[in-house]
Amino acid sequence: MKFYLLAFIFFITGFLCAQQADYVDFKSAAVWVTFQPEAKTVLGEVTYKLDILKSRDSIFLDAVNMEFSLVTLNGKSVDFRSDSKKLWIKHKLKKGKSYELKFEYKAQPKKALYFIDWEYPNGNKQIWTQGQGKYTSNWLPSIDDMNDKIEFDLSITFNKNYEVIANGKLIDKQINDSTMTWHYDMRKPMASYLVALAIGKYDKQIEYSESGKPLEMYYYPEDSLKFEPTYRYTKQMFDFLEEEIGVAYPWQNYKQIPVKDFLYAGMENTSSTIFSDAFVVNDTAFVDKNYVNVNAHELAHQWFGDLVTETSGTHHWLQEGFATYYALLAERNMFGDNYYYWRLYEYLQELDVQDKSGGSTALLNQKSSSTTFYKKGAWVLHLLREKVGDDAFKSAVKSYLNKYAFKNVKTKDFIAEVERTSKQDLSKFVALWLENKDLNYNLMLESLKQSVFIQEYLMVDCELYTSKCGEYLNSGISDEAKAKVIEQIPNQITSDNFKSPIKVRQAIATSISIIPERLKQDYESLLQDESYVTIEAALMNLWRNFPQERYKYLNQTKGIFGFHDKNIRMLWLTLALITDGFEPENKPEYFKELTGYTSPKYSFDIRQNAFMFLQQIQACNEVCRENLKEATTHHNWQFSKFSKSMLQALNQN
């Protein structure tokens, strides 16, 4: 009782959370873990080394719903208590002393570590982590406060038929009977939310950067033909970022691992990015949906977020804004200036929509949206670089990273470096762009107009100059400008416009709803495009416009599956089922296939597509409904929310 009273007193006095870092410095953690995947259980042993900065009677680790045993301090048993959130160590800890805290634990995490497909014999069995926003303390006793950076060395024992990947360098593999223990060495400290591991059936290829860093790229064995388009430009962007940032990549190696049903596009765990396998693509999918931007974004985080880390959410743009901006610079290096300005224009339009809906907030507001932190943050860096010049900007970034390496930062730390290198007072810039919630759209648009490409695009306005727009389509203006014309006046499209590049043809496919007979043959050619977006739109529109030729269109697209979510195959199956007289003998198999895609053995993006198509044709049978019920408990909240909404609608009907 006395111990819990002490804990309560510390809570009242503000000892908890971020402030413990003022009294205790956790230096390193030697972690050994193993898993019982069928029981969704973690078993582990951890040894922490820590320094006491101010004398205390108690310290804690964040630990959610865990059981502890054999807890010792400097080799001796110590009084401890654990509740649903923390492990408390009760002992007189003296300033200036170092201690070794060791314990064993058991956990059954509800989030932050996920066991995928272990209940399905033929499933894609995986274990993977997601610490940011979920807290590593759900599966590993650690520190939720990102201001205490720790060197984590992970040893993981698991079935030797699987690959085990974690932060740092693999320094040893110990073979047991049916298991193996992988030993990873980290060497440098990091915030606890960046601790990561991934387990699954993988192959890998390794490239080396110009600076000699190993770039380890993992893939499913069955996806060997998708390796190149998935990881395209990886080495180029790594080399570019090292040179552009001016600070060497700070970790021993860089690993990338695709996983099933990931919560986000990707996550920049220190030296080990985990990303959604929806970005594993073939050459055709690469045209419309590829991993390049996510790849560059998560790589940039290795400096901005992992090497230097925000002190709190108020300064979140120092991570997301920087990663978004440097990813855009990497893409500019690969795709050119026009691409760079086009993406900035798209970001501005997204910010404008948010602003007009009343959602604009200051960049230094910790409650700001992702759009603000990512897109406005990138824009602010673009504008800051314009203001102070390339040399001062790059010098400031280099100095900032070197000065605060492996530490935590606030916005003022970065601004101070820019003021020093540029010899400018940036107080007005900070007030206008970081502290002010207004978007300042016109000022941003003026910056964009430095690009002739953007000037040309903005000049196209078919509502004001309708007579000129037909001429635009046959001129030398950009594909983006031509696509804008097509969206505004699709009735002026001619056969010649179908000879345009993929992006223009895609605009034609998605803009025309009623296909004129004069364009029928040209429009049919879109089914042959190397773009899954184009093929999907063309198939749907042709099926609607020319009922007498539906069999022909279905036969032409029969073997195309499309993106990871099987967008074309799902549409094809649905159209095959509702097209009168089309392969009646095969309809039961087609219905079985479409319904089968709702099964938990498939990724949630595939399942969601199948659910939507079955709902549209009012064919969600008992199997579909059971799978929908299961989906309401899925760990991806957006998919879970969708499933609950659809199930409610079905029940009401």
Q: Is 207 found in the same domain as 169?
A: no
At residue 252 the predicted structure's pLDDT band, cuts being 50, 70 and 90, is very high
Residue 534 in any domain: the answer is: no
Q: What letter does residue 374 receive in the DSSP assignment?
A: I
Q: Report H helices in 29-183.
A: none
Q: Is 29 found in the same domain as 135?
A: yes
Q: Is 244 found in the same domain as 151?
A: no
> Smallest Cα–Cα separation from 433: which of 401, 479, 388, 469?
388
Residue 18 predicted with pLDDT over 60: no
Residue 477 in any domain: the answer is: no
CB 150 within 8 A of CB 192: yes
| End position of a domain, from candidates 139, 164, 199 | 199
Residue 432 in any domain: the answer is: yes
Per cent of the chain over pLDDT 70 is 96
Q: What is the pLDDT of residue 489?
A: 85
Q: What is the pLDDT of residue 4?
A: 44
Residue 65 in any domain: the answer is: yes
At residue 575 the predicted structure's pLDDT band, cuts being 50, 70 and 90, is very high
Average pLDDT over residues 97-111: 98
Average pLDDT over residues 375-395: 98
Separation of alpha carbons 51 and 105, rounded Å:
22
The alpha carbon of 247 is separated from its chain's Cα centroid by a whole number of angstroms, namely 24
Residue 541 predicted with pLDDT over 50: yes
Q: Report H helices in 136-233.
A: 227-230
Q: What is the pLDDT of residue 477?
A: 85
Distance from the first to the final alpha carbon of the chain: 55
User: 475 or 482: which carries more pLDDT confidence?
Assistant: 482
What one-letter code names the amino acid at 603?
A: S
Separation of alpha carbons 413 and 399, rounded Å:
11
The encoded tokens of residue 409 equal 């930062």
Q: What is the pLDDT of residue 492?
A: 83
Q: Is 361 found in the same domain as 258?
A: no
Query: pLDDT, tens digit, for every residue of 310-346?
Result: 999 999 999 999 999 999 999 999 999 999 999 999 9
Domain housing 63: 1-199
Residue 8 predicted with pLDDT over 80: no
DSSP characters over 385-443: HHHH-HHHHHHHHHHHHHHTTTEEE-HHHHHHHHHHHHT---HHHHIIIII-----HHH
Residue 15 predicted with pLDDT over 50: no
> Smallest Cα–Cα separation from 69: which of 100, 36, 107, 99?
107
Average pLDDT over residues 154-180: 97
Separation of alpha carbons 484 and 479, rounded Å:
9
Separation of alpha carbons 576 and 242, rounded Å:
51
Q: What is the pLDDT of residue 184?
A: 98
The encoded tokens of residue 465 equal 């100059």
Q: What letter does residue 304 receive in the DSSP assignment?
A: B
Separation of alpha carbons 566 and 439, rounded Å:
38
> Smallest Cα–Cα separation from 256: which of 287, 235, 239?
235
Average pLDDT over residues 236-252: 98
Separation of alpha carbons 319 and 128, rounded Å:
23
Residue 391 predicted with pLDDT over 60: yes
At residue 465 the predicted structure's pLDDT band, cuts being 50, 70 and 90, is low
Poorest-confidence range of 13-17, 498-502, 607-611?
13-17
Separation of alpha carbons 404 and 307, rounded Å:
8
Q: Is 350 found in the same domain as 284?
A: no
Residue 398 predicted with pLDDT over 70: yes
Average pLDDT over residues 211-239: 98
The encoded tokens of residue 175 equal 């073979």
Average pLDDT over residues 177-191: 97
Residue 312 in any domain: the answer is: yes
Q: Is 193 found in the same domain as 88?
A: yes
| End position of a domain, from candidates 199, 224, 245 | 199
Q: Is 226 found in the same domain as 334?
A: no
Residue 318 in any domain: the answer is: yes
Separation of alpha carbons 406 and 356, rounded Å:
39
Residue 415 in any domain: the answer is: yes
At residue 461 the predicted structure's pLDDT band, cuts being 50, 70 and 90, is confident
Query: Edge-to-edge strand order for the sheet containing 66-73?
Result: 76-77, 66-73, 98-107, 41-52, 24-36, 151-159, 179-185, 169-175
Q: What is the pLDDT of residue 603?
A: 97
Average pLDDT over residues 488-492: 85
Average pLDDT over residues 584-598: 98
Q: Is 236 found in the same domain as 290?
A: yes
Average pLDDT over residues 529-534: 96
> Smallest Cα–Cα separation from 226: which of 296, 291, 297?
291
Q: Is 228 found in the same domain as 190?
A: no
Q: Is 213 found in the same domain as 136?
A: no
Q: Identify the H or E element spanning 448.
A: helix 441-448
> How are beta strands 266-267 and 272-276 bridged, if at all?
antiparallel
CB 300 within 8 A of CB 249: no
Q: CA dihedral defined by 295, 260, 184, 238, rounded to 10 degrees? A: -10
Residue 1 predicted with pLDDT over 80: no
Residue 7 predicted with pLDDT over 50: no
Residue 636 in any domain: the answer is: yes
pTM, entire model: 0.95
Average pLDDT over residues 510-517: 93
| End position of a domain, from candidates 136, 164, 199 | 199
At residue 467 the predicted structure's pLDDT band, cuts being 50, 70 and 90, is low
CB 489 within 8 A of CB 464: no
At residue 653 the predicted structure's pLDDT band, cuts being 50, 70 and 90, is confident
Query: pLDDT, tens digit, for every residue of 60-103?
Result: 999 999 999 999 999 999 999 999 999 999 999 999 999 999 99
Kindly report the CATH number assigned to the domain that includes residue 263. 1.10.390.10
Please give the tally of structural domains in the chain: 4
Poorest-confidence range of 7-16, 132-141, 294-303, 361-370?
7-16
Q: Is 193 found in the same domain as 87?
A: yes
Kindly report the CATH number assigned to the domain that includes residue 63. 2.60.40.1730
Average pLDDT over residues 386-400: 98
Q: What is the pLDDT of residue 17?
A: 43
Mean per-residue pLDDT over the chain, rounded: 94
Q: Is 166 found in the same domain as 31?
A: yes
